[in-house]
Amino acid sequence: MGLMYVFPVGEDETDFVQKKDGVLTLKTYGLPYIFWFYALCSVAVVFFMFIGVKEPVLKLISLGDETDATLGYSLLTFIGLIPVLILSFFFYEKRIIKNNMEIGLSHRVFGIPFFSEKFLIESGDDLSVESFLTSPNVARMEARQDNVGFQNKGYFVLWLKSKDGKKIQIDRHSRKADLEKLKGLLENN
């Protein structure tokens, strides 16, 4: 999710970096404002879809048997959950919590944690930034000037090697410099 939900890279970003009692907490930024317009359009489409199917579904529920009623209620529930699902993307937040030699990852939706993990590390050298490129970079191999815009640059991954030898992905980003700054922020605190 690091390509959409970006972590801060410096302690001066006080809204998203908290340092209290030796515990460093980093929170991801929200989505850009243009995405709110997309969400509004999506919810409007779902609303008009609900208006269009409401009467036939209610008639099916009242005239049909138990199977028809179950299908009707299921459809109305599904249509009702679509806006909640869309909004959950906007209220998703990932946190990195560093306390001494322990790094915790927490995923939250609407401020409610739904997945958390903690990992013990031995030293700051356990963090590393690596390039991730899933396909051959043919445009770069040919090295023609008119292919520069088509070069696959991939993205970079910040890995954590835990005490028990597991390799955990902390974050990913299209800019290596930002991940290096994030790594430095975690190593220095």
Does 26 reside within a domain? no
Number of structural domains (the chain) is: 1
Q: Give the chain's length.
A: 189
Does 163 reside within a domain? yes
Does 152 reside within a domain? yes
Does 124 reside within a domain? yes
Task: Note the pTM of the prediction, 2 decimals.
Answer: 0.76
What confidence tens digit (pLDDT) does each residue in 84-130 have?
999 998 889 999 998 888 889 999 998 899 999 988 887 667 888 88
3-state class of 140 per DSSP? helix
User: DSSP states of 30-74 as a string?
Assistant: ---HHHHHHHHHHHHHHHHHHHHHHHHHHHHHHHS-HHHHHHHHH
Does 20 reside within a domain? no
**What is the domain extent for residue 136?**
102-187
**In 10 A of CB 133, how many CB atoms?**
12
**How high does pLDDT run on average in the chain?**
84
Does 17 reside within a domain? no
Does 16 reside within a domain? no
Does 1 reside within a domain? no
Question: Per DSSP, what are the bridge partners of residue 106?
Answer: 95, 116
What share of the chain has pLDDT > 70, as a percent?
A: 87
Does residue 14 surpass a pLDDT of 90?
Answer: no
